[in-house]
Structure 1
Amino acid sequence: MATEIEIQLQTLEQEAQSAIAHSDNLKKLEELRVAYLGKKGELSLILKGMGKLAPEMRPVIGAVANQIKEKIQDSLSQQQETLQKQQIQAQIASETIDVTMPGVSKPLGKSHPLQSTIDRVIDIFVGLGYTVAQGPQIESDYYNFEALNTPPEHPARDMQDTFYFGDGSLLRTHTSSVQIRYMEQNEPPIRIIAPGRVYRRDTVDATHSAVFHQIEVLAIGKNLTFTDLKGTIKEFLRQMFGDDLPTVFRASYFPFTEPSAEVDVQWQGKWLEVMGCGMVDPNVLKAVGYDPEEYSGFAAGLGVERFAMILHKIDDIRRLYNSDLRFLNQF
């Protein structure tokens, strides 16, 4: 019986040494360790038969089993060290950088001319003490029209025909709706600008788009007058165009301001309409819970595309949306 166990142990050692020598990764090596030396491994299974040995033979077989176990453990450790070194060498080889190879060019990104124009306007007004306000692009009829003194059937709605959803909501036609939401949640004095994308049903051509960008300005406080509005607009235009340009305020009409005006500037020998503005209509102040006897204010709005086209001498608004790198790389 002792001879049979010794033969089993010797066979186990030979098989284990061969399997360890041929293992090519650390995962497989760990599986071999568990298979041969684990609690339920082959060595443990063989040693369960020691109970049938004569008492004087058990120490002898135990010593042989311990020697075999140590040899297998040594082989496992050596093979583990070898495989780890091979793994490190392979990683080093795969991550080696050939400094003689040409570099991969990753050109720096640039701001889109629309975004750079928005940023420029924001910087100017923030410097004048204004903060930026945001609002949803999908609006209710109330915030987009009614609260801005444009009730249903008002003729001014024809100029701002937009895209409606089945539930009565719509894509906002201006960022004036942001002003209403902000005034509902804040008490005067207020100084905000509201940049964002707006939508109107319009025929797309060189100067018109159904989707465009707008920035609106709002100031509410005590004793604000049209003189304050003119001074603010003139300073903004001076900083925007880098010069004290000739400016004209032409009487106009907007349902949410009274009096209202269009702003023209003389730019490169031509008169250009660049903004609309006016004093906030008392009905708008009442809609947000302000007392028009105590507070007054002014508002102004500009189309970002119009300013970008003027500043960069762009002849067609559609160039701003076509994502043509030959065009965009100029900025």
Structure 2
Amino acid sequence: MYLTPAALAAALAVRDLSDPATTPAGEQPHAMSRLLDALVDAATAGGAHPHRVVRSSPLVATADNYDALGFNAVAITRDRRYSHYVSPTVMLRSHTSAGIPALLRAIDGDADRDEVLVLPGIVHRRDAIDRTHVGTPHQVDVWRVSAPGRLAVDELLELVGALVDAVLPGARWRAVPAEHPYTVEGRQIDVWHAGEWLELAECGLIDPGLLARSGLDPARWSGLALGMGLDRALMLRKGIDDIRVLRSTDARIRSQMTDLSPWRPVSMMPPVTRDLSVVVAAEDDDETLGDRVRSALDARVDDLESVAVIARTAADELPPAARDRLGIVDGQVNALVRIVLRPLDRTLTDAEANALRDRVYLALHRGPRLELIGAR
């Protein structure tokens, strides 16, 4: 039910690309940190607003990740299928907003203040495997906290405009009403890119309830809250369509990950597709299955371009012969899973592809009978 020491150590060892302090000797900082610099500059009006960039441990109190921010006690995001718990009271943060409650509690409620708080870093989620999702994405929270002045929607949209322009200079954007546990007047921010609207950020005015729970009088204090996925933002800025590119060790790719200039695609290897018929629990979704595959493949997970469930059939909908062949029982489903194997830097042999296929199969399958092909 909780992360093993080995799994926790592996999670904490993932490099934070937004932090220039993690840059290997002899290399330049990653483009992610350069984009973050641009966002900080935009959020603070070129340094005109006092600000702090706060980097904290991804290990947080579960109460700060959820309760203090106002998440409902039965919110699905709390489920162990989606979050990584270390103990009953500690978890790997699922969003950088988890650092906000402690910062608010540390503020002197009687002081005058107008400060921008920037919280970047890696968050940890169980997620699907495809070209735009990863289990350790980067996020940044940008909050402006003020007293005794009152911040309102006009200031919120001004902040949004500045940040959108820092990511995609001159891009069209829209603010769509949305609900978040720790904001009022919430908005989802979409940008027009490559002929479609794409979500870039979420924002709103700081919920007075959050301020009150943090010891700040909502009659005196107000603020703005915005969260953005840095991986998505960088991919939009550079025109990248595969999230694995951001961490690639291929020299042709790595040389392009040091600035914000447009991405020049390198030669992609041909894909290898394998379809698997596996038995899984009825409640297993793409995120749960994706996390299971990541854990099983470990260092080889980047050889996978995607893992997708093509079809699901409940045990009681299968003919008797199929039920017997699979060994499936009530409460389980037969899932047809398609995996696409395509390393960024080489072509897999059939033997390598079959071996990886079998590792994925073993990670997903919960039936008593195995259909492995690696030894054939």
TM-score bin (small chain):
0.5 to 0.7
> Where do residues 1-331 of structure 1 align in structure 2 (5 Å cutoff)?
109-126=27-44, 127-128=46-47, 129=49, 130-155=51-76, 157=78, 161-187=82-108, 188-221=113-146, 222-243=149-170, 245-331=171-257
CA deviation vs aligned residue, 1:208-235 (integer Å, no higher than 9, x gap): 1110111101112231101110011102
What's the CA shift string for 1:229-275, capped at 9, x where partnerless?
001110222233222x3221001121111121100122344322111
**How far, CA to CA, are the matches of 1:160 and 1:174 in structure 2?**
16
Whichever residue aligns with residue 164 of structure 1, its letter is Y
Residues in 2 aligned to 1:178 and 1:160: alpha-carbon distance in whole angstroms: 22
- Is contact 1:190–1:220 with CA below 8 Å preserved after alignment? yes
Cα RMSD (Å) of the superposition? Answer: 2.2
Instruction: Quote the offset at 1:305 in angstroms.
Output: 0.3
8 Å contact kept, 1:175–1:216: yes
What code does the residue aligned with 1:218 have? W
1:155 shift after superposition: 4.3
Question: How far apart are the structure 1 equivalents of 2:87 and 2:78?
Answer: 19
* Contact 1:160–1:173 (Cα < 8 Å) also in 2: no
Give 3-state SS (helix, strand or coil) of 1:145's partner. Answer: helix
Q: Secondary structure at the match of 2:130?
A: coil
SS at match of 1:110: coil
- Provide the rounded CA distance (Å) in 1 between the counterparts of 2:81 and 2:191: 25
Unmatched runs of 5 consecutive residues or more in structure 2: 1-24, 258-376
**Long gaps (5+) in structure 1:** 1-106
Residues 137 and 171 in structure 1, CA contact (< 8 A), matched pair in contact too:
yes
Equivalent-residue separation in structure 2 for 1:208 and 1:231 (angstroms): 29
Q: For residues 188 and 81 of structure 2, what CA distance do their matches in structure 1 show?
A: 17
The separation in 1 between residues aligned to 2:206 and 2:127, in whole angstroms, is 27
Per the alignment, in what secondary structure is the counterpart of residue 189 of structure 1? Answer: strand
Query: 1: CA distance between counterparts of 2:53 and 2:92?
Result: 21
Please give the TM-score of this superposition, normalised by the length of structure 2. 0.56
Shift of residue 322 of structure 1? 3.1
Question: Can you list the C-alpha shifts for 1:86-108, whole angstroms capped at 9, x where unaligned?
Answer: xxxxxxxxxxxxxxxxxxxxx96
Does structure 1 retain, via aligned residues, the 8 Å contact 2:182–2:206? yes
**SS class of match (1:148):** coil
Distance 1:193-1:275 versus aligned 2 partners, 3 A rule: same
TM-score by length of 1: 0.63
Shift of 1:191: 1.7
- Which protein is richer in strand relative to its size? 2
**Secondary structure at the counterpart of residue 294 of structure 1:** coil
Query: Could you tell me how far 1:182 is from its partner in structure 2?
Result: 1.2
Compute the displacement of 1:299 (Å): 0.2
One-letter code aligned to 1:214:
Q
Contact 2:167 2:237 in 1 (8 A): no
- Indicate if the aligned counterparts of 2:43 and 2:116 stay in contact, CA closer than 8 A: no
Instruction: Give the C-alpha shift of residue 319 in structure 1.
Output: 1.7
| Displacement of 1:197 | 1.0
Equivalent AA in structure 2 for residue 260 of structure 1:
G
Kept in 2, the 8 Å contact 1:156–1:255? The answer is no
SS at match of 2:34: helix
The alignment covers a number of residue pairs equal to 224
Q: Residue 133 of structure 1 contacts residue 182 of structure 1 at CA under 8 Å; is this kept in 2?
A: no
d(CA) in 2 for partners of 1:258, 1:210? 29
Higher alpha-carbon deviation: 123-132 or 165-174: 123-132
Partner Cα distance (2:115, 2:79) in 1: 30
Question: Residue 81 of structure 1 aligns with which residue?
Answer: none
User: How many angstroms apart in 2 are the aligned matches of 1:116 and 1:223?
Assistant: 32
- Structure 1 position 139, deviation (Å): 0.6
Please give the secondary structure, in 1, of the residue aligned with 2:117. strand
